[in-house]
């Protein structure tokens, strides 16, 4: 039998408003697809790499000595591989993924564990975190698995993994460790995120023991000294104000909370997730769609992002991708386009900028992703996040390298989704979509141009909705259907076009991508004099940056010429992979490029900046 999310046994108590299309429904072109293809070929299709990942479990206790996280790599990569497959339905990729899943199933020990820690060292460091990723990897593969017998074996192994955790851990139970006591790191916040795969396993099997265990995880509060979930329910404490501020792990806990809402219908869980997301958006998401200007920690990044006081590693790619995944969950659940806006900002800036298209080396090795995203007068390639030697080899890997493919897959795989009444277009990518009841052809150079043309080919003439996301940043918008202007109702950020569609019907959408000026002083009026003398330029969803490598002087100060918050664009030119814009300033002009194109030669010592100095 084939298992699917939320669905074989446990009924879903609350339906999502948006649903992903079947695998392989879309075929796009453009820089985001270049990134997906690059990452797939660079890492996902390498069977030797997958063998090394499985060996981190087969070799026995490889993470004992340094309480490491080598056991996370396989599950992170598997999740990214499955999300990539949801977009391209590449048979070669499926074959590689199936083979490594079969290999992983043989790495289970006699106790039912798949762990990179020995029994003598278990429940320390990142042990439960790594087991979480094994479970998630297997659960994501279940969603694409084409072999019923293999699906049954996967579920058996998942149950063994969870049953062992239930036997040994819980919350306030005699003879068991609290889940928050299974790690010395981050007050057990990392271990608590096992909530997500546990709830998904309940959804797959319907076995109440897993739902009960999920309740115990929540009862432990996510941290030893602080109830993260109750704080989110109250919605008053910003993430950076909490005793533990590790951004990626905290967001992972709320992905589990959303899964729990789906299978219980408990509105408190939904409120927790919505409140938490709102607080993160308000206090910690930066102009490029990531967070953590102090390493990978929530630190009130919204106001620290232009402060020159800290110039080290910041904005971890793990944080970027997890924020995108969390927003996708909320987009599915609520149908609110503000979460698609957030995903788009992250994708075109922090994520795309981190893809190592140029093959820059780090310590002699080349990885598919940069781990950190600079904001102010800094360089790329400063470090590899989660850098560890892979046991049995002389090679290394890192957390951000492992997670990146989930981001490059997620964006095109969810560009168009199904609704109860039709189709929702979230992201405007050039190409073709088979949206079940209709095919769409999209012609656009978005995000570098605001013009989008969609041609509709319904399976048969009939009335249904086509919902077009109108980015919240887009002030002036125009929509025509077959050349005639229309004024569709905008609901939750989507322009809703409802009519009886005929083959060849053409929708033209014109979005406002003029360059907006964002002043640091408007974000943080109380900031230091040095910090607030900066501004950012954002054209549509694309942040425009300065790059010393192409001759930009990062020390120059400018007084922008603007009208109504929009900069004066003297010229706009497409580059090989992005855009170059000449901006008018008092007595001069200056060039900026799309953020993702800047700083791409890591080792030339040339800096880049997303925040530009003002007079």
The stretch 315-341 carries a mean pLDDT of 98
Q: Are 318 and 296 in contact (CB under 8 A)?
A: yes
Rounded mean pLDDT, 563-589:
97
Compute the Cα dihedral for 372, 255, 300, 324 and give only its sign.
Answer: positive
449-490: per-residue pLDDT in tens?
A: 999 999 999 999 999 999 999 999 999 999 999 999 999 999
How many angstroms separate the CA atoms of 604 and 175, rounded? 57
For the domain covering 23-413, report its CATH number. 1.50.10.20
* Element containing residue 102 per DSSP (H, E): helix 91-105
43, containing H or E segment: none
Beta-strand pair 608-609/612-613: unpaired
SS (H, E, C) 426-472: CCCCEEEEECCCEEEEEEECCCCCCEEEEEEEECCCEEEEEEEECCC
pLDDT per position as a tens digit, 344-372:
999 999 999 999 999 999 999 999 999 99
Q: Are 21 and 417 in contact (CB under 8 A)?
A: yes
110-140: pLDDT as tens digits: 999 999 999 999 999 999 999 999 999 999 9
In tens, the pLDDT along 506-539 reads: 999 999 999 999 999 999 999 999 999 999 999 9
Architecture of domain 417-444+450-510: Sandwich (2.60)
Residues whose CB falls within 8 Å of the CB of residue 503, separated by 6 or more in sequence, listed in order: 456, 457, 458, 461
User: Given the structure tokens 């790619």, which residue do they identify?
Assistant: 317
DSSP state, 250? H
> By three-state DSSP, how is residue 269 classified?
helix
417-444+450-510 shares the fold of 23-413: no
Query: Which residues face 582 on adjacent strands?
Result: 571, 591
Q: State residue 10's pLDDT score.
A: 57
pTM for the predicted model, two decimal places: 0.97
Can you tell me the distance from the alpha carbon of 249 to that of 238, in angstroms, rounded to the nearest whole number?
A: 15
CA-wise closest residue to 202 among 37, 12, 361: 12
Strands 422-425 and 462-469: parallel
Of the candidates 419, 417, 418, 445, which has an alpha carbon nearest to the alpha carbon of residue 431?
445
pLDDT at position 437 is 87
What tokens does 449 get? 């141009």
């Amino acid at each position: 039998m084939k298992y699917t999310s939320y669905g074989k046994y446990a009924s879903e108590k609350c339906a999502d408003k948006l649903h992903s299309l079947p695998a392989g429904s879309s075929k796009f072109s453009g820089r985001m697809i270049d990134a997906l293809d690059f990452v797939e070929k660079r890492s996902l299709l390498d069977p030797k790499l997958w063998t090394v990942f499985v060996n981190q479990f087969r070799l026995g206790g490889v993470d004992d000595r340094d309480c490491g996280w080598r056991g996370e790599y396989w599950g992170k990569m598997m999740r990214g591989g499955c999300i990539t497959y949801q977009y391209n339905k590449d048979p070669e990729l499926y074959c590689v993924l199936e083979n490594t899943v079969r290999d992983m199933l043989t790495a289970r020990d006699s106790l039912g564990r798949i762990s990179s820690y020995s029994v003598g060292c278990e429940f320390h460091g990142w042990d439960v975190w790594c087991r979480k990723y094994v479970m998630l990897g297997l659960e994501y593969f279940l969603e694409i698995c084409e072999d019923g017998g293999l699906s049954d074996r996967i579920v058996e192994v998942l149950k063994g993994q969870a049953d062992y955790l239930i036997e040994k851990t819980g919350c306030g139970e005699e003879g068991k460790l609290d889940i928050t006591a299974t790690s010395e790191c981050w007050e057990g916040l990392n271990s608590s995120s096992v909530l997500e795969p546990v709830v998904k396993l309940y959804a797959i099997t319907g076995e109440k023991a897993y739902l009960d265990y999920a309740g115990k995880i929540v009862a432990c509060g996510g941290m030893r000294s602080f109830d993260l979930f109750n704080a989110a329910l109250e919605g008053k404490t910003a993430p950076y104000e909490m005793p533990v501020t590790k951004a990626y792990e905290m967001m992972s806990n709320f992905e589990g909370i959303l899964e729990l809402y789906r299978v219980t219908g408990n509105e408190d869980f939904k409120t927790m997730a919505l409140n938490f997301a709102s607080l993160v958006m308000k206090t910690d998401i930066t102009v490029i769609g990531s967070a953590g200007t102090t390493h990978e920690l929530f630190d009130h990044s919204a106001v620290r992002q232009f402060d020159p006081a800290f110039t080290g590693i910041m904005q971890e790619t793990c944080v970027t991708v997890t924020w995108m995944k969390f927003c996708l969950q909320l987009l599915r659940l609520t149908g609110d386009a503000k979460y698609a806006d957030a995903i788009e900002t992250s994708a075109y800036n922090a994520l795309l900028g981190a893809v190592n298209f140029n093959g820059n080396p780090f310590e002699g090795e080349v990885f598919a992703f940069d781990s950190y995203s600079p904001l102010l007068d800094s360089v790329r390639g400063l470090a590899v996040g989660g850098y560890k030697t892979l046991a049995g080899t002389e090679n290394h890997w890192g957390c951000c390298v492992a997670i990146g493919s989930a981001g490059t897959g997620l964006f095109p795989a969810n560009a168009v989704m199904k609704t109860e009444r039709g189709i929702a277009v979230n992201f405007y990518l050039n190409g073709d979509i088979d949206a079940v009841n209709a095919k769409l052809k999209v012609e656009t150079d978005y995000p570098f141009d605001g013009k989008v043309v969609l041609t509709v080919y319904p399976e048969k003439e009939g009335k249904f909705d086509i919902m077009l996301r109108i980015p919240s940043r887009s002030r002036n918008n125009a929509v025509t259907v077959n050349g005639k202007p229309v004024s569709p109702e905008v609901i939750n950020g989507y322009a809703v076009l409802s009519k009886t569609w005929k083959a060849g019907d053409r929708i033209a959408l014109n979005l406002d991508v003029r360059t907006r000026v964002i002043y640091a002083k408007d974000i943080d009026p109380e900031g230091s004099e040095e910090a607030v003398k900066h501004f950012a330029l954002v054209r549509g969803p694309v942040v425009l940056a300065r790059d010393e490598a192409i001759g930009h002087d990062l020390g120059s100060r400018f007084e922008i010429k603007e009208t109504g918050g929009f900069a004066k664009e003297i010229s706009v030119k497409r580059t090989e992979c992005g855009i170059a814009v000449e901006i008018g300033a008092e007595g001069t002009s200056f060039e900026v490029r799309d953020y993702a194109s800047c700083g791409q030669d890591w080792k030339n010592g040339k800096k880049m900046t997303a925040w530009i100095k003002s007079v």
